[in-house]
A and B are shown apart, each in its own frame.
Chain A
Amino acid sequence: MDKEAIIRLERVFLEDLKGGSLREITLSIYPGEIYVLTGPTEADKVTFLNLCLGLIKPQEGEILVGGYDFKRATYHQLIDYRRKLQISYMAYPPALISNRSILSNLLLPLEYHFPKGNHLKRTKELLALLGLSKYEDKLPFELSLEEKRLVELARALVSQPQIIFYRQPLENFDSFLQQKIVKIIKQYSEEMSCTSIIVANHWLPFIPIAHRFGILDQGKLIYCGSPEELYASNEPPVQQFINIQKTIS
């Protein structure tokens, strides 16, 4: 296994209380990579995401994120590791802090970890880029689901993280916004040299920007490789999944 991987999963096995499970997953994700994980419904993609975020722990196997052992870390150590690794997350459904304005939600990770700096300018620029400037003084409950999702995206990007996790980043958006979001993910990934892990049902829009795709099915990683290799794969489950997705699209 490559020592330079920023996320390393080694023969991970888990069954969580909510019925999610991962079986024998071995995977390395490298710095600066855009990795898209997809799969059918009930494939346990969210379980994979929660595992990489340290919100759940494997029963067997190892998970290292940025060299930190997420399996053996305590609750407080995990939070500290996330701070040191500068992890951010675009949640789904949105999880904005309800008693803070949109601007304050975006400023929170910046002011908490880096009290000095011109955060306001950077935050307002990002809000303008996503067309959210007019909402900056509003509270989250005053926004539509689509707008809240855009604010989530802005919050994930604003602190210039090293690793960004996206959960269903294209859900609830029209095709115009979907294209815009894909471009923004690519732009920020290159500008900040950050690692992007995208968990999505709609994976086709990510083909131009993804370095690798993974397909998860019932807790098993049935495919992992480049987009070109994905189409060339002769594996029946992979072909079946691709055909279904093309039909839906």
Chain B
Amino acid sequence: MNLIIQIGNKILESLKNINQIIQLLVDAVISLFYLQKSSLRANMNVLFSQIRFTGINALPLVNKLALLLGIVVIIQAATYLPKIGASDYIGSIITLVIIRELGPLMVAFIVIGRSGTAIATELCSMKINHEINALEVMGINPYQFIIIPRLLGVAISVFCLVVYFDVIALGGGYLVSYLKIKLPLIAFMSGLKQSLALKDLILSGVKGLLFGFTIATIGCYQGLIIKGSLTEIPQAATKTVVRSISTIFFFNSLLAFIFYYS
């Protein structure tokens, strides 16, 4: 009986969280109706600084991980596929594994670790220090000035990072293919072309935007719901990581189902 009550409470808590996240997004949309032309520049500055932090500053880390992932995937494929006479499928493997699945997921993990937690802890400290109240009193809508630039900034950044990650991973993959089995560039590209459909590229882009939006939404939500104690800050960061990962895996499965199941 206790177990049933516990499960019921967990479900109720999850529904409450989902409801509050929807409310946050609804408030963000409503705030746009009060947007003044005069405040556009200030809001855009926050958007650009979010893109700089989430996108541009993450490039060195994305470079390393993309290159290493491309190399690892191709080493595994180039070791096994020639044994069964399927060397031409190396391009297909990289499409299937990196562009469709691992690229967007790896970028999402990087952004959760760097930006999701940063957004949550920053908003927590802003709330504890009454900075959000100070903005409200000055007539600055926190949804316009803090939330929307972060949602858009992270979504745009993740989208661009996914494209960048795919390109670097493909480069790293080809490099290893060439060194290990002397695979000509034409063969690699032809395998890639055969296996890569337009919907793979669309899916990759959709995932980038959706994952970015999800990470920023959860980070903002966890940052804003704290009551005012300093001990809540690390908890907010942890919850941002855990909830972002589980939500992203859910959306990843949902998109795979929508795009490829039929």
B141 touches A79 (CB 8 A): yes
Question: Can you list 15 pairs linking A and B with CB atoms under 8 Å apart?
Answer: A55-B133, A55-B137, A76-B31, A76-B143, A79-B139, A82-B136, A84-B139, A88-B137, A88-B138, A89-B138, A97-B126, A98-B125, A98-B129, A112-B39, A113-B36
Pair B139/A83 contact, Cβ less than 8 Å = yes
For B130, the chain A residues whose CB sits under 8 A away are 91, 93, 95
A240 to chain B, nearest CB (A): 33
Q: Which residue numbers of B lie inside 8 Å of A, CB to CB?
A: 27, 30-31, 33-34, 36, 38-39, 41-42, 122, 125-126, 129-131, 133-141, 143, 145
Contact B41 A115 (CB under 8 A): yes
Contact between B38 and A82, CB atoms less than 8 A apart: no
CB distance from A160 to the nearest CB of B (A): 13
Tell me the nearest residue of chain B to A159, going by C-beta: B138
A75 touches B139 (CB 8 A): no
A82 CA / B141 CA spacing, docked (Å): 10
Give the total of A residues in contact with B, Cβ under 8 Å: 31
Q: Is residue A111 contacting chain B, with contact meaning CB distance below 8 A?
A: yes
A115 touches B38 (CB 8 A): yes
Asked whether A80 lies within 8 Å of B140 as measured between CB atoms, the reply is no
A-B contact sample (9 more), CB < 8 A, given A80-B141, A112-B145: A76-B141, A87-B137, A89-B134, A89-B137, A89-B138, A91-B134, A98-B131, A108-B140, A112-B39
Taking the closest CB of chain A, its distance from the CB of B68, in whole angstroms, is 33
Instruction: Report yes or no: B125 in contact with A109, Cβ–Cβ below 8 A.
Output: no
A148 to chain B, nearest CB (A): 11
In the bound complex, CA of A78 to CA of B145 (Å):
16
Residue contact A113 to B31, C-beta cutoff 8 Å: no
A114: CB under 8 A from chain B? Answer: yes
Q: Decide: B34 and A79 in contact? CB cutoff 8 A.
A: yes
Tell whether, in the assembled complex, residue A53 and residue B134 are in contact, meaning their CB atoms are under 8 Å apart. Answer: no
- A residues bordering B, Cβ < 8 Å? 53, 55, 75-80, 82-84, 86-89, 91, 93, 95-99, 108-109, 111-115, 159, 165
Contact B38 A114 (CB under 8 A): yes
Question: Quick check: B122 and A99 within 8 Å, CB to CB?
Answer: yes
Q: Which residues of A contact B34 (CB under 8 A)?
A: 76-77, 79-80
Residues of B within 8 A of A98 (CB): 125-126, 129, 131
Residue contact A96 to B138, C-beta cutoff 8 Å:
no
Partner of A82, one of B42, B122, B125, B139: B139
In contact, A108 and B141 (Cβ under 8 angstroms): no
Name the B residues within 8 Å of A88 (CB-CB): 137-138
Q: Are A95 and B145 in contact (CB under 8 A)?
A: no
Chain A residue at smallest Cβ distance from B139: A83
Q: How far is the CA of A53 from the CA of B133 in the complex (A)?
A: 10
Query: In this complex, which of B27, B38, B131, B143 has the most chain A Cβ atoms within 10 angstroms of its Cβ?
Result: B131
Tell me the bound Cα distance from A84 to B141 in angstroms: 13
> Does A112 contact B38, Cβ atoms closer than 8 Å?
yes
Most buried by B among A77, A96, A113: A113
Which residues of chain B have C-beta atoms less than 8 A from A109's C-beta?
A: 138-140
* Residues in A neighbouring B39, C-beta threshold 8 A: 112-113, 115
Whether the pair B36, A83 counts as a contact (CB closer than 8 A) is yes
Find the residue from A76, A89, A114 having the highest chain B CB count within 10 A: A76
CB distance from B13 to the nearest CB of A (A): 21
Partner pick for A108 among B30, B38, B138, CB 8 A cutoff: B138
Q: Please, which residues of chain B bring their CB within 8 A of the CB of A84?
A: 139
CA A168 to CA B73, docked complex, whole Å: 64
CB B153 to nearest CB in A, in angstroms, measures: 15
Nearest B residue (CB) for A50: B133
Most B-side CB within 10 Å, residue of A75, A79, A98, A165: A79
Which chain A residues lie closer than 8 Å to B135 at the CB level?
A: 97
Knowing A97-B131, A112-B39 are in contact, say whether A80-B30 is a contact too (CB < 8 A). no
Which residue of chain B lies nearest to A140 when distances are taken between CB atoms in the complex? B129
Question: Which A residues are in CB contact (< 8 Å) with B131?
Answer: 95-98
- Of A76, A95, A112, the residue contacting B133 (CB under 8 A) is A95
Q: Which residues of A sit under 8 angstroms from B139, Cβ to Cβ? A: 79-80, 82-84, 86-87, 109, 112-113
Interchain nearest-CB distance for B55 vs A (Å): 18
| A76 contact from B30, B42, B122, B134, Cβ within 8 A | B30
Distance in Å: Cβ of B129 to nearest Cβ of chain A: 6
Q: Which residue of A is nearest B41, CB measured?
A: A115
Please state if B137 and A53 are interface contacts (CB–CB under 8 Å). Answer: yes
Chain B nearest Cβ from A61, distance in angstroms: 22
Contact B137 A111 (CB under 8 A): no
